[in-house]
Amino acid sequence: MQKILLPTDFSENARNAISYALKLFADSDCIFYFLHVLPPTLGERRTVPTSVTNEMLGEAEAKTREQLKTLISEVTSGNEKTEILVKFDLFTDAVAHIAEDKNIDVVVMGSHGAGGVREFFIGSSTSNLIGHIQCPILAIPKDLEFEPVNEIGFATDYSFVYSRKGLEPIFRIAEKFSSHIRFYHVEEGRDEWNDEKEKIRKEIKKACEGYDASFYLLTDAPLSTATRLFVESREIDLLCMAAEKRNFMDNLLGKSPVKDMSYHATTPLLVLHKNTLK
């Protein structure tokens, strides 16, 4: 059974991401965890008697649970397996603890669209999670309506071999929609093709046996431009990449595929942790 975590702040953006996830995983054997995180400061008011604090926490949690119940009734058909989670914690810490405790397969969140460098492509909450948790994170652009995933694009730098197990999140989607998986690599500047990259490409191809996977080498264009053209020409429905084991926002300061993908606010982005891909 797949375990899907759906954090929400009750915004339309989060609601849209939840609706997308419900359709993406429809008819699959899975459970959806609806999560809302409340600020931990309420429980840290040491000047307030413990009994009063506990009462305030209880009321806040009860109200949130009712909101989540209402949301579930509005967005689901009633046949899905769901569970409500309410946590008093920092957002990233709450998600990280739940992801580990529940052995979450995918975290699905809404992105904010192209809103400048600070908000980035997927918003601060989502971006801070990348590199902070091991499981895949699926970011859904604002207002994007679900369509079958026929084309999957995967940006790779061929720095290491992806294992078949590590690629399972993509394979599950490909099996459901009979998707084409398009791996692409962009050569920039002195980044030239070599025997080591060719060896890694062949190993990744071997890991994809049984799936419709193809490989592309793009040249003579910056990564951002090449990605945009690739997404448009191939009509990519889902863009994938591997994240570094560092805070996602740090990538803004240097050369990174993540930075350049921030321009694509109309395509869902699936980020896989590099450690889980190996």
For the chain, give the mean pLDDT: 84
Neighbour count for residue 84 (Cβ, 10 Å): 16
- For the segment 192-203, the average pLDDT, to the nearest whole number, is 93
What pTM does this model have?
0.87
190's torsion region: left (phi>0), alpha (psi -120 to 50) or beta? alpha
Question: From CA 131, how far away is CA 241, in angstroms rounded?
Answer: 12
Q: Residue 155 in 3-state DSSP?
A: strand
Torsion of CA 22, 143, 71, 237, to 10 degrees: 10
pLDDT of residue 8: 95
Q: How far from 191 is each of 74, 96, 156, 253, 257, CA to CA, in Å?
A: 50, 35, 13, 20, 14
Sequence-distant (6+) residues with CB within 8 A of 151 are 179, 180, 182, 234, 235, 236, 237, 238
Question: From CA 221, how far away is CA 159, in angstroms rounded?
Answer: 20
> Does residue 228 have a pLDDT over 90?
no
- For the segment 252-266, the average pLDDT, to the nearest whole number, is 48
Q: Quickly state the pLDDT bin for 214 (edges 50, 70, 90).
A: very high
Q: How far from 213 is each of 155, 179, 216, 235, CA to CA, in Å?
A: 13, 9, 10, 15
In the chain, the amino acid numbered 139 is: A
Alpha-carbon radius of gyration of the chain: 20
> Does residue 131 have a pLDDT over 90?
no
Q: Quickly state the pLDDT bin for 87 (edges 50, 70, 90).
A: very high
Q: Structure tokens of 49? A: 């008697």
pLDDT of residue 245: 52
DSSP letter (8 states) at residue 49? -
Residue 240 CA, chain-centre distance (Å), reads 9
Question: From CA 49, how far away is CA 52, in angstroms rounded?
Answer: 5
In the chain, the percentage of residues whose pLDDT exceeds 70 is: 81
User: Considering only 4-13, 119-128, 133-142, which range has the smallest mean pLDDT?
Assistant: 119-128
Place of tokens 């025997």: 195
Place of tokens 């580990």: 100
Q: Structure tokens of 88? A: 């008093």
Q: Quickly state the pLDDT bin for 123 (edges 50, 70, 90).
A: low
Q: Which helix (H) or strand (E) holds 78?
A: none
pLDDT of residue 15: 95
- For the segment 150-175, the average pLDDT, to the nearest whole number, is 95
pLDDT of residue 242: 86
> Does residue 114 have a pLDDT over 50?
no
- For the segment 226-252, the average pLDDT, to the nearest whole number, is 74
